[in-house]
Structure 1
């Protein structure tokens, strides 16, 4: 079967309506707008209400991406949902498939935390390049507010909820120019949303575990150190594979975790500030949603234009990190 190229032809995004500003957050925990903003760059974040679900946010972002790409939901062959916070532990991609009416698409979840969108992009591309599928919907969506300890000021100031999506299509020219992915499980303990089980006696001599999860825990210093060292390296690897220089990059879109990380990575790569896309101040860290959310906003604002070269990198729990270099549009 003939190998085909990949083009990213449409984007969409969706966030909950409810905002939580730093000032309001300081009523919950001992912190301040100045403290949060200077250390993270975050001013506010969006929070999903109990009535809102991940699949509804993901569907809204997906509908925009499908419309922007000029196809219909029935044209989709595959739906990949990158998330760590599904509505259902068995996965939420099939719920999105049903809500979209994408009757011809196979759907499944992919979990790589904040690297999820980049890992999903590379996964989707393989299905297209091998000629198996022509139209793939990739969604990054997370509702981390469900899993935050709102009394832990080290983590509760960071996270927000949202969804972003792109459509990838088979194309004559290959617009995914290069990528590189990495994992290091020895560093797993630095960032967790860990299983928490309570022992339950089922029968004499038979104990089982009743399952739930702990809130997010993070060693901020170690995660910062990891990101600032590893992300420039992985972008360099992806650029090498793409056979392009850092000067040829039009836009840098990093996972929106912390403005200090974004600035440090851009400086190490010698990428000027005007090429760096950041919307962290408005949304906080939305995990797998952060890159497609920032991408979609920049496309809709007319910043990112067809044929622009975009370098992107996700990094987070696992620990996992990856980079992808692509040209926007057909």
Structure 2
């Protein structure tokens, strides 16, 4: 019997470099409250958001992704040609096919493996889980993981459920080999029974068959999503901590998806994080940027001098699907 040859990679992987790109415009609450008959005070109280960043009309999601990717590769200290795979987590690339990842790879001068991940706000953590496995399996030396969204292209300004939350941006990391563990086990899953809770208002085929329908935008059942995220995601994050063989006291930073400050605060209580843990709340200035929110929030912690290379961070993404993923990582 012929035996197949298989590849074997390094025992461990880690994040080697981080890069980000944010929308060019700062959009305060006051700019959005008219169409939804709300107030700056109400938005701050219910979400913690004071402003969000949004891209100019001519800036596309791949433009944001490219900016973050180039910065991540530079910060990883490698040449772009050492990237063997490009993973793009996004729900706002405006084409059913081809995916955005091959387009991004081409912009970077690459002909590597490239594919999109559609896991909404959990997409970045899904990408980290995939990249970790690919490096350790020997499938790729270095993997570029990008979470990029231009959410402002898909909002109805009169929608009170989600439109005022959303911002634009991209965050990218390079995952490569490590002599010591740098990415803990990924704890992930889904609950498809909750798929209608965060959704596109109409499918493309529904729009095709009924041109009287308005252009599809994003919508959420806010109270149900809040309840799910606030009380179901804390245990998932704690499971990721335990799977990594550490305790909450070992964590330097908690970097959850930036969905809502009240959700973040509830998760902190459920996990039992001590006061010494830095909690990312980039949402106050950047809004909810879906798959980009965790790397953007990570960069903010660096910029504010709250974390440094080698610190342990607990990160968790959760959103439409419903899907979720969490892991403990060593910061680059």
Report the TM range for the smaller structure's normalisation: over 0.9
RMSD: 1.9
Per the alignment, in what secondary structure is the counterpart of residue 138 of structure 2?
Answer: coil
Partner of 2:8: 2
Which deviates the most, 189-198 or 216-225?
189-198
- Which residue of 279, 283, 286 maps to 2:286? 283
Q: Does 1:250 align with 2:258?
A: no
Find the aligned partners of 1:58 and 1:169 in 2 and give their Cα distance: 19
Find the aligned partners of 2:206 and 2:146 in 1 and give their Cα distance: 33
Q: Is the 8 A contact 1:22 1:32 kept in 2?
A: yes
Q: Is the 8 A contact 2:32 2:157 kept in 1?
A: no
Find the aligned partners of 2:237 and 2:206 in 1 and give their Cα distance: 42
Partner of 2:203: 195
The 3 A distance-change label for structure 1 pair 199 and 242 is closer
- Which residue of 306, 309, 317 maps to 2:309? 306
Q: Aligned-pair distance for 1:187?
A: 0.9
Partner of 2:233: 231
Find the aligned partners of 1:186 and 1:88 in 2 and give their Cα distance: 26
Partner of 1:125: 132
Partner of 2:85: 78
1:89-111 CA-to-partner distances (Å, cap 9, x unmatched) read: 2111112112222x242211111
Q: Aligned-pair distance for 1:198?
A: 4.5
Q: Is the 8 A contact 1:65 1:166 kept in 2?
A: yes
Find the aligned partners of 2:68 and 2:174 in 1 and give their Cα distance: 11
TM-score (norm 2): 0.92
Q: Is the 8 A contact 2:235 2:271 kept in 1?
A: no
Partner of 1:135: 142
Partner of 2:4: none
- 1:1-330 equivalences under 5 Å are 1-4=7-10, 5-90=12-97, 91-101=99-109, 103-193=110-200, 194-198=202-206, 214-272=216-274, 275-329=278-332
Q: Aligned-pair distance for 1:199?
A: 7.7
Runs of 4 or more, structure 1, over 3 Å off, are 208-213
Q: Aligned-pair distance for 1:321?
A: 1.1
Per the alignment, in what secondary structure is the counterpart of residue 153 of structure 1?
Answer: coil
Q: Is the 8 A contact 1:2 1:130 kept in 2?
A: yes
Q: Aligned-pair distance for 1:209?
A: 8.3
Per the alignment, in what secondary structure is the counterpart of residue 166 of structure 2?
Answer: coil
The 3 A distance-change label for structure 1 pair 25 and 199 is closer
Q: Is the 8 A contact 2:83 2:142 kept in 1?
A: yes
1:244-302 CA-to-partner distances (Å, cap 9, x unmatched) read: 11111111000000000001101121224552111101111000000011112223443
Any stretches of 5+ residues in structure 2 without a counterpart?
Answer: 1-6
Q: Aligned-pair distance for 1:3?
A: 4.0
- Aligned pair count? 321
Per the alignment, in what secondary structure is the counterpart of residue 84 of structure 1?
Answer: coil
Q: Is the 8 A contact 2:231 2:266 kept in 1?
A: no
Find the aligned partners of 2:307 and 2:73 in 1 and give their Cα distance: 18
